[in-house]
Amino acid sequence: KKHVVCQSCDINCVVEAEVKADGKIQTRCISEPHPTTPPNSICMKSVNADTIRTHKDRVLYPLKNVGSKRGEQKWERISWDQALDEIAEKLKKIIAKYGPESLAVTQSEINIQSEYGTLRRFMNLLGTPNWSAAMYMCIGNTSGLHRATYGSYSFASFDDSNCLLFIGKNLGQHNWISQYNALKAALKRGCKLIVLDPRRTKVAEMADIWLPLRYGTDAALFLGMINVIINEQLYDKEFVENWCVGFEELKERVQEYPLDKVAEITGCDAEEIRKAAVMFATEGPASIPWAVSTDMQKNSTSAIRAQCILRAITGSLKQGAELLGLPHSEFVSVSQIQMHEALPEEKKKIQLGTERYPLLTYTGMSAFEEPSARVYGEENRYFHNMAAFMANPTDMFTAMASEKPYPVKAFFTFASNALMGFANQENALAGLMNQELVVCYDQFINPTAQLADYILPGDHWLERPVVTPNWEGIPFANTSQQVVEPAGEAKDEYYVVRELAIRMGLEEHFPWKDRAELMNYRISPTGKDWEEFQKQFTYPSNIPDYFAPGGVGVATPSGKVELYSSVLEGLGYDPLPYYKEPEQTPISDPELAKEYPLTLFAGLREDPGFNSCYMQEGPLRNVEPDPVALLHPKTAQSLGLPSGEWIWVETTHGRLKLLLKHDGAQPEGTIRIPHGRWCPEQEGGPETGFSGAMLHNDAMVLSDDDWNLDPEQGLPNLRGGILAKAYKC
Ligand code: MGD
Ligand code: MGD
Ligand code: SF4
């Protein structure tokens, strides 16, 4: 019986796993009390983890595409040595011809959790800044804006909160179950709940106040709440006075958002917004747990910043309902292992995205170097808080496709389905097609891998011992024991990184011979080796008292909470949050709305999936076999679209094919489309649109032109602000 951190999705519940007599692994709820996982926390994805691990489609050996064209599915089994030798040889030639920055990498640390910064180390030593991640639009960007406000990512403590504000967050039995259980426990002890969601979800029904706002208007709603809290003198005056800068400017800004105006923008009742603001400020300590909805909006920067301001001015940061993350105090930090100092300044300056959207790149984040070193130590000057120093995905795919501003000719993905995980999927495809070398480290031949030259088989979380998380900013770490040996010839991520590094002449910088040595190095400050270390479930991190009199302060340029952001101002952006109506709504473009009468929203995660994972035939896929669009029955009726029929959903960018279902919870006049849908049972390659990815995935209808990008971060809007039409196939 082993305790294992479930990595089937990104909330990382701790579960128990046992190999049964028939060789199958049973995963179940952890039987002992666990400090970070409430009782009865396991969902269908974890229960079925071994079905995925042992799935017939799993890639168990290195594969080489021996077809004559990219995307042709002619896979040949080769040895690890052959794969790594050939990849390194090709990479050397590409670097010699185009420079090291011609290598771009996407990585989903959430899916692997076992390289502790060594991939960035490899890239930094090689000389390429072009690392990106789907976290560019999922928590990584949130953390960038948390840093602009108070120096690091703030983690909501459900146990210490008396009022929770949820932005969407459709938690449930199969969606972040441990947090769902923490929510239920909090409500049971009397904690208040405010939910902002256009849909009447189960969580909305549990709320004290449900604000059914119009998609994409969260920034305006928060500005209205701040207006009430300031004008009605409900803020924490002492904290604001001692620890915040820019209060007067903020006060002036929120006068532009009186409740009647905010009610008009959001579609919510003004008095209900007021009640929510008063509840948040007076029933605290209050917290706003992270949610993805505001990471994917046209006004994303303002919506995230306004949340930070709410946390700050109501005193939540000081009262412990929100914990400011840091490099784990007991470990060698990931930031230190990454060696960003090895990447020459001139390479940092050309990271893709720097010119148009510098905020999340090295250039934008350079403002945090000195503050991070001051608060977290010189070794954490390049603090890898959730995700940091990211190339902009749009500019990365554009460089891959058009070779401008310079050629990107080699593309590696590590547990990341890059083709489907951003916007403008056709540009991503064009970029992949224009590569001289594509390498995917994955468990399956996902649509991105179908375009690869080499697929390297990755291990599964039941097959690897790890201490999670792989990134920094969470105030604890959990141990995950290995249950079985990797299947076939699957290997851990560090193996791939190190073997490539050796072949690229960088061996001296990778002194840890294998993952075990690397992990022992990471945990070495505890004085334990892994055998001893793994016996303990959780290692809490010591959080400094940032706000003690004469304390270190926070890792912003001023050392204080920056309500008025010097970092945004320095980059030429509005230093205060604002709301601007997106360019494609029935309000801003009524003419276009005549042709495209629906407001589109991509999201609403599905129980059996995790983004594009678990689409393979089997018990998970059977739960929801088809990609589904949701329309309110009245809207569907007005369009003459019966439930159960296949429809086209079309935007000004593109169209996709989905099965229509009527759903009374979907607001009238809006349409929901899913993310990550593909059909692994279909033959891969261009003929099938890469197993349906080009037909069913949301990124087919999402533009990454400037009109649909958040202007500060340059990330695509998926929630409101896109007009669509739906018609029968
Ligand atoms: P969604 O499920 O996309 O995101 O989880 P959530 O944050 O729950 O949408 C949740 C709710 O947000 C919906 O009810 C929707 O109506 C509402 N919403 C949509 N647009 C807006 C908006 O503009 N403002 C507000 N306030 N609400 C809006 C995401 C999380 O789920 C993430 S990021 C991942 S990667 C995981 N994915 C995942 C999965 O794929 N499957 C399962 N079973 N669980 C998952 N959990 C994680
Ligand atoms: P996934 O679809 O989860 O996407 O972005 P990604 O993480 O890039 O694909 C992960 C891949 O990792 C799968 O192919 C899977 O087989 C593989 N994998 C899973 N576990 C392992 C493992 O243990 N080892 C190895 N080697 N491989 C593994 C997710 C990201 O996408 C997120 S979290 C969000 S919230 C965003 N959502 C989103 C969206 O809603 N729409 C669009 N268009 N883009 C999005 N991008 C973001
Ligand atoms: Fe695993 Fe389910 Fe928890 Fe996600 S919600 S970590 S898949 S048990």
What is the predicted pLDDT for the residue at 628? 98
Digit-coded pLDDT (tens) for 376-404: 999 999 999 988 999 999 999 999 999 99
Looking at the fold, whether 291 and 436 belong to one and the same domain comes out as no
In a domain, 30, yes or no: no
Alpha carbon nearest to ligand 3 atom 4, residue: 9
Structure tokens at 95: 């670097």
By residue range, what is the domain housing residue 242? Answer: 154-324+547-570
DSSP 595-649: HS-EEEEE----TT-BTTBT-STTHHHHHS-S-EEEE-HHHHHHHT--TT-EEEE
In a domain, 21, yes or no: no
Looking at the fold, whether 492 and 599 belong to one and the same domain comes out as no
Looking at the fold, whether 507 and 564 belong to one and the same domain comes out as no
Digit-coded pLDDT (tens) for 706-726: 999 999 999 999 999 999 999
Looking at the fold, whether 115 and 210 belong to one and the same domain comes out as no
Q: Is 548 left (phi over 0), alpha (psi -120 to 50) or beta?
A: beta
What is the predicted pLDDT for the residue at 605? 95
In a domain, 261, yes or no: yes
Q: Which residues line ligand 3 (CB under 6 A)?
A: 6, 8-9, 11-13, 42-43, 45-46, 176-178
Tell me the percentage of the chain whose pLDDT exceeds 90: 97
Looking at the fold, whether 109 and 203 belong to one and the same domain comes out as no
Q: How far apart are CA 223 and CA 208, in angstroms?
A: 20
- Kindly give the number of the ligand 2 atom that is closest to the alpha carbon of 425: 43
The 10 Å Cβ neighbour count of residue 189 is 8
What is the predicted pLDDT for the residue at 79? 98
- Kindly give the number of the ligand 1 atom that is closest to the alpha carbon of 168: 12
- Residue 460 Cβ < 6 Å to ligand 2: yes
Q: Which ligand is nearest to the CA of 387?
A: 2
On the question of pLDDT at 215 being above 90, the answer is yes
On the question of pLDDT at 138 being above 90, the answer is yes
Which residues have CB under 8 Å from 568's CB, separation 6+? 148, 301, 305, 359, 574, 575, 712
The 10 Å Cβ neighbour count of residue 688 is 18
On the question of pLDDT at 408 being above 90, the answer is yes
The 10 Å Cβ neighbour count of residue 21 is 5
Q: Which ligand is nearest to the CA of 464?
A: 2
Alpha carbon nearest to ligand 1 atom 29, residue: 292
In a domain, 35, yes or no: no
Residue 2 phi/psi, 5-degree rounding, is -120, 150
Residue 244 phi/psi, 5-degree rounding, is -120, 145
ipTM of the complex: 0.99
Alpha carbon nearest to ligand 1 atom 45, residue: 175
Please report, to the nearest 10 degrees, the dihedral formed by the alpha carbons of residues 33, 36, 38, 42 taken in order.
-100
Q: Give the DSSP H or E segment for 361.
A: none
297 Cα: distance to centroid of ligand 1 (angstroms): 13
Alpha carbon nearest to ligand 1 atom 38, residue: 610
Alpha carbon nearest to ligand 2 atom 6, residue: 416
Digit-coded pLDDT (tens) for 81-128: 999 999 999 999 999 999 999 999 999 988 999 999 999 999 999 999
Looking at the fold, whether 535 and 415 belong to one and the same domain comes out as yes
- Kindly give the number of the ligand 2 atom that is closest to the alpha carbon of 458: 26
The angle, 0 to 180 degrees and rounded to 10, between the axes of the packed helices 218-231 and 270-282 is 60
Please report, to the nearest 10 degrees, the dihedral formed by the alpha carbons of residues 386, 348, 353, 215 taken in order.
20
Best probe residue, ligand 2, of 417, 451, 610 (max atoms within 8 Å of C-beta)? 417
Q: Which ligand is nearest to the CA of 615?
A: 2
43 Cα: distance to centroid of ligand 3 (angstroms): 6
Q: Which ligand is nearest to the CA of 218?
A: 1
- Residue 611 Cβ < 6 Å to ligand 2: yes
What is the predicted pLDDT for the residue at 212? 98
Indicate the pLDDT class of residue 652, thresholds 50, 70 and 90. Answer: very high
Looking at the fold, whether 596 and 554 belong to one and the same domain comes out as no
On the question of pLDDT at 363 being above 90, the answer is yes
8-state DSSP, 550: T
Mean pLDDT of the chain: 97
Looking at the fold, whether 528 and 453 belong to one and the same domain comes out as yes
Q: Give the DSSP H or E segment for 456.
A: strand 454-457
Q: Give the DSSP H or E segment for 413.
A: strand 410-414
Q: DSSP strand E in 148-254: where?
A: 154-156, 163-167, 192-196, 209-211, 244-245
Alpha carbon nearest to ligand 1 atom 5, residue: 169
- Kindly give the number of the ligand 1 atom that is closest to the alpha carbon of 605: 2
Are 665 and 199 spatial neighbours (Cβ–Cβ below 8 Å)? yes
Catalytic residue among 10, 85, 160, 574, which? 10
Q: Which residues line ligand 1 (CB under 6 A)?
A: 9-10, 138, 167-170, 174-176, 196-199, 201, 213, 215-216, 218, 291-293, 297, 601, 603-607, 609-611, 719-720
- Kindly give the number of the ligand 1 atom that is closest to the alpha carbon of 672: 16
Q: How far apart are CA 589 and CA 599, in angstroms?
A: 12
The 10 Å Cβ neighbour count of residue 574 is 17
10 Cα: distance to centroid of ligand 1 (angstroms): 13
Can you tell me the mean pLDDT for 471-486? 95
Looking at the fold, whether 536 and 558 belong to one and the same domain comes out as no
In the numeric block, the tokens 């891959």 are attached to: 400
Q: Which ligand is nearest to the CA of 168?
A: 1
- Residue 412 Cβ < 6 Å to ligand 2: no
414 Cα: distance to centroid of ligand 3 (angstroms): 21
Tell me the percentage of the chain whose pLDDT exceeds 70: 100
Alpha carbon nearest to ligand 1 atom 1, residue: 604
- Residue 294 Cβ < 6 Å to ligand 2: no
In a domain, 31, yes or no: no
602 Cα: distance to centroid of ligand 1 (angstroms): 9
On the question of pLDDT at 438 being above 90, the answer is yes
346 Cα: distance to centroid of ligand 2 (angstroms): 31
3 Cα: distance to centroid of ligand 3 (angstroms): 14
Indicate the pLDDT class of residue 471, thresholds 50, 70 and 90. Answer: confident
Q: Is-cis flag, bond preceding 447, omega within 30? A: no
CATH number for the domain that contains residue 189: 3.40.228.10
In a domain, 45, yes or no: no
Alpha carbon nearest to ligand 1 atom 44, residue: 175
10 is catalytic: yes
Q: How far apart are CA 235 and CA 222, in angstroms?
A: 14
345 Cα: distance to centroid of ligand 2 (angstroms): 31
- Residue 422 Cβ < 6 Å to ligand 2: yes
Digit-coded pLDDT (tens) for 145-190: 999 999 999 999 999 999 999 999 999 999 999 999 999 999 999 9
The 10 Å Cβ neighbour count of residue 282 is 15
164 Cα: distance to centroid of ligand 3 (angstroms): 21
The rounded Cα 595 to chain-centroid distance in angstroms is 33
Q: How far apart are CA 492 and CA 458, in angstroms?
A: 6
The total number of structural domains that make up the chain: 3
Looking at the fold, whether 319 and 331 belong to one and the same domain comes out as no
The 10 Å Cβ neighbour count of residue 502 is 14
DSSP 23-52: SPEEEEE-SS--SSS-TT---HHHHTHHHH
Residue type (1 letter), 525 = P
Give the end-to-end CA distance of the chain in Å, rounded to a whole number.
Answer: 51
In a domain, 689, yes or no: yes
- Residue 451 Cβ < 6 Å to ligand 2: no
Q: Which ligand is nearest to the CA of 46?
A: 3
The rounded Cα 719 to chain-centroid distance in angstroms is 15
- Residue 708 Cβ < 6 Å to ligand 2: no
Q: Is 536 exposed, middle or buried (0-12, 13-18, 19+ CB in 10 A)?
A: exposed
Sign (positive or negative) of CA dihedral 679, 682, 684, 690: negative
Looking at the fold, whether 261 and 340 belong to one and the same domain comes out as no
Are 581 and 717 spatial neighbours (Cβ–Cβ below 8 Å)? no
Looking at the fold, whether 470 and 510 belong to one and the same domain comes out as yes
Are 150 and 317 spatial neighbours (Cβ–Cβ below 8 Å)? yes
Strands 655-662 and 466-468, bridge-based pairing = unpaired
As beta bridge partners, residue 26 has 18
Q: How far apart are CA 460 and CA 683, in angstroms?
A: 24
Are 658 and 673 spatial neighbours (Cβ–Cβ below 8 Å)? yes
Which residues have CB under 8 Å from 636's CB, separation 6+? 642, 643, 660, 662
Digit-coded pLDDT (tens) for 675-704: 999 999 999 999 999 999 999 999 999 999
Q: How far apart are CA 389 and CA 123, in angstroms?
A: 12
Digit-coded pLDDT (tens) for 50-90: 999 999 999 999 999 999 999 999 999 999 999 999 999 99
Q: How far apart are CA 449 and CA 441, in angstroms?
A: 8
Alpha carbon nearest to ligand 1 atom 11, residue: 168
Digit-coded pLDDT (tens) for 549-583: 888 899 999 999 999 999 999 999 999 999 999 99
5 Cα: distance to centroid of ligand 3 (angstroms): 9
In a domain, 20, yes or no: no
CATH number for the domain that contains residue 493: 3.40.50.740
CATH number for the domain that contains residue 618: 2.40.40.20
- Residue 218 Cβ < 6 Å to ligand 2: no
What is the predicted pLDDT for the residue at 308? 98
On the question of pLDDT at 600 being above 90, the answer is yes
Q: Which ligand is nearest to the CA of 28?
A: 3
- Residue 612 Cβ < 6 Å to ligand 2: yes
Alpha carbon nearest to ligand 2 atom 8, residue: 416
In the numeric block, the tokens 């505890």 are attached to: 526
205 Cα: distance to centroid of ligand 2 (angstroms): 30
175 Cα: distance to centroid of ligand 1 (angstroms): 9
Q: Is 543 exposed, middle or buried (0-12, 13-18, 19+ CB in 10 A)?
A: middle
Structure tokens at 13: 């519940």
In the numeric block, the tokens 């794969």 are attached to: 83
DSSP 686-722: GGGHHHHHHHH-GGGS---SGGGB-TTT--B--EEEE
Alpha carbon nearest to ligand 3 atom 3, residue: 13
